[in-house]
């Protein structure tokens, strides 16, 4: 039976069945062993020792969870060197002067679905003005500014003249941005991907010249079954594609 426990696939059911069989095979010989059978306390102690030994064997043989590696959730993106006209619709985002376009992908390379995918995304050196999921492939995910801060556009300016009259000049832009966005997907199916259009902007609170980001910073977590897996903070280099 010990050889079977070594050779058979170590699923919880196989381990438990083998341990029960080992106990049934050894309990009676131990109970009737000539030295042990002379006293009840020796019999009880021997059975307790046998149970302890089987508990140790079970702990060593018990299958360990094999959480997905971070590499099996692939997060990558492409930055486009394209200056879209202000007011145009780019992947559902109303475009503004100073925006840069990044297309972001989250791909599950594993053979099983992952759940509660929660990822924080930032673009090194710039802020994120807006992020929207694109495409029609499920599941539906959420993208929203991370709680670490939202940088609003410039406020209105109030000027007081010599006559004491107040004049308010509205801000020159309504652009808002955040240093990071958070993406949450309840489920990401096996061998599937979701994608997001990202508008990045630099120089807030006043928008600066358009700057194409080159690096993506990622951290987060997800679950497979009840096992959580941490996506350690790391950077991903963006591919850059020039569009006319």
Is 16's pLDDT higher than 90? no
Cα–Cα separations (whole angstroms), residue 207 to 122, 174, 244: 18, 10, 23
Of 80, 206, 211, 100, residue with least CA distance to 155: 206
End-to-end, the C-alpha distance of the chain in Å comes to 71
| pLDDT tens readout for residues 36-62 | 888 888 889 988 998 999 898 888 877
Q: Given this model, what pLDDT does residue 163 score? A: 72
| pLDDT tens readout for residues 88-127 | 999 989 998 888 999 999 999 888 889 999 999 999 888 8
3-state secondary structure of 162: coil
CB 194 within 8 A of CB 185: yes
CB 61 within 8 A of CB 14: no
Instruction: Domain 70-242: give its CATH architecture.
Output: Sandwich (2.60)
| pLDDT tens readout for residues 188-211 | 998 899 999 999 987 555 555 678
């Amino acid at each position: 039976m010990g050889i079977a426990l070594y050779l058979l696939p170590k699923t919880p059911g196989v381990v438990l069945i083998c341990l029960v069989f080992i106990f049934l095979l050894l309990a009676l010989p131990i109970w009737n062993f000539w030295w042990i059978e002379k006293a009840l306390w020796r019999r009880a102690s021997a059975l307790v020792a046998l149970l302890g030994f089987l508990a140790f064997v079970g702990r060593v043989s018990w299958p360990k969870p094999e959480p997905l590696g971070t590499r099996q959730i692939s997060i990558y993106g492409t930055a486009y060197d394209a200056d879209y006209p202000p007011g145009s619709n780019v992947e559902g985002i109303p475009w503004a002067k100073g925006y840069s376009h990044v297309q972001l992908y989250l791909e599950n390379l594993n053979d099983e679905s992952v759940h509660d995918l929660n990822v924080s995304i930032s673009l090194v050196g710039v802020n994120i003005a807006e992020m929207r999921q694109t495409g029609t492939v499920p599941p539906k995910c959420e993208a929203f500014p991370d709680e670490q801060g939202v940088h609003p556009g410039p406020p209105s300016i109030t000027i007081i003249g010599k006559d004491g009259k107040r004049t308010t000049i509205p801000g020159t832009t309504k652009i808002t941005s955040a240093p990071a966005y958070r993406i949450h997907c309840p489920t990401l199916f096996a061998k599937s991907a979701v994608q997001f259009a990202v508008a990045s902007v630099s120089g807030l609170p006043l928008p600066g010249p358009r700057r194409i980001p080159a690096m993506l910073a990622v951290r987060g977590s997800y679950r497979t079954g009840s096992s959580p897996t941490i996506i350690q903070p790391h950077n991903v280099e963006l591919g850059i594609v020039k569009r006319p």
